[in-house]
Amino acid sequence: MYPLSRTDSRDTDSIQQRQKGELEYLVFPKLEETGVVEHLFTTRTGGVSNGIYSTMNLSFSRGDDLECVRENYRRIGEVLGTDPEHMVASKQTHTTNIHLVTKADAGNGITRPSVYDDIDGLATDIPGIALVTFYADCVPLYFVDPVHRAIGLAHSGWRGTVAGMGACMVRYMQEHFNSRPEELVAAIGPSICVDCYEVSEEVAEQFREGFPEDVLQPGKAPGKYQLDLWKANQSILLRVGIPPEHMAVTNVCTCHNPEYLFSHRASHGQRGNLAAFLMLKES
Ligand SMILES: [Zn+2]
């Protein structure tokens, strides 16, 4: 398997590499231990796309050959034990909007055009429907309620993080599934690390209130800051009541592993998309 670079060698179990044939993907043991979901986070390996999309690109809208993207989805479906007809994609625009996924949404944004726009979070209590969200440095947030058998998946870049996307999803699951924060299991997935994520004063300013002070580190360049999106999202989930022992936090940075994971920063935007998949098992 690819020699993954980790930012923290103390916690190699928070996220693990798995393999099926040539396809490599990442999983959170903590989510697996709930016993109620199938999930994964994709890598660039095991797909059929070429060039800057090589090889496992899951975006239909970045210029890749659509037949290649369809084949990539089929291969991921095989790993999850489903097919693209039973997947539902977000339509991300850095909002905190969440869509309640029903059976009628099956295939949305994957086998047929998306019927909605501006959706950065997906939630459902229907088994056998895989939720799909997209990444190339932004933060994937996974939520599993093993008690009420419900799931949520959210895209949280810096805008989503400032707006508290993780807390929005927990509240949404409370309202729709009677979820209790103390029973949720959450994972903060592969994304850009503090060392790689330089931000401007304008962005830094928005993290001065409502977040721990150390989410902002002194910049390597004058007038710049390093932003810790992992710690910022972790603080949001802790504050909303998810116990620390129910939470897995990535130590895998997309920008540190640009051959293995798509990174917007590392590729200067010449890239495909990674994707997070989360599906309730049939009980
Ligand atoms: Zn990094």
Q: Classify residue 83: in a domain, yes or no.
A: yes
Q: Classify residue 3: in a domain, yes or no.
A: no
Question: What's the CA-to-centroid distance between 212 and ligand 1, angstroms?
Answer: 20
Q: Which residues lie at CB < 5 A from ion ligand 1?
A: 193, 196, 253, 255-256
Q: Could you tell me whether strands 185-188 and 247-249 are parallel, antiparallel, or unpaired per DSSP bridges?
A: parallel
Question: What's the CA-to-centroid distance between 68 and ligand 1, angstroms?
Answer: 29
Question: What's the CA-to-centroid distance between 224 and ligand 1, angstroms?
Answer: 16
Q: Classify residue 207: in a domain, yes or no.
A: no
Q: What is the pLDDT of residue 146?
A: 98
Q: What is the pLDDT of residue 8?
A: 83
Find the CATH number of the domain harbouring 89: 3.60.140.10
Intervals of the chain under pLDDT 50 = none
- Tokens at 38, concatenated: 């199938």
Query: Domain count of the chain?
Result: 1
Q: Classify residue 76: in a domain, yes or no.
A: yes
Q: How far is CA 118 from CA 7, 99, 204, 261, 273, in A?
A: 32, 10, 25, 25, 17
Q: Classify residue 74: in a domain, yes or no.
A: yes
Question: What's the CA-to-centroid distance between 106 and ligand 1, angstroms?
Answer: 35
Question: What's the CA-to-centroid distance between 266 and ligand 1, angstroms?
Answer: 10
Cis bond before residue 34 (omega within 30° of 0): no
Q: Classify residue 249: in a domain, yes or no.
A: yes
Residue 167 and residue 242: Cα distance in Å, rounded? Answer: 10
Question: What's the CA-to-centroid distance between 197 and ligand 1, angstroms?
Answer: 7
Q: Classify residue 230: in a domain, yes or no.
A: no
Q: Which domain holds residue 47?
A: 12-191+243-280
Question: What's the CA-to-centroid distance between 189 and ligand 1, angstroms?
Answer: 13
Question: What's the CA-to-centroid distance between 54 and ligand 1, angstroms?
Answer: 21
Q: Classify residue 225: in a domain, yes or no.
A: no
- Tokens at 117, concatenated: 């726009």
Question: What's the CA-to-centroid distance between 4 and ligand 1, angstroms?
Answer: 12
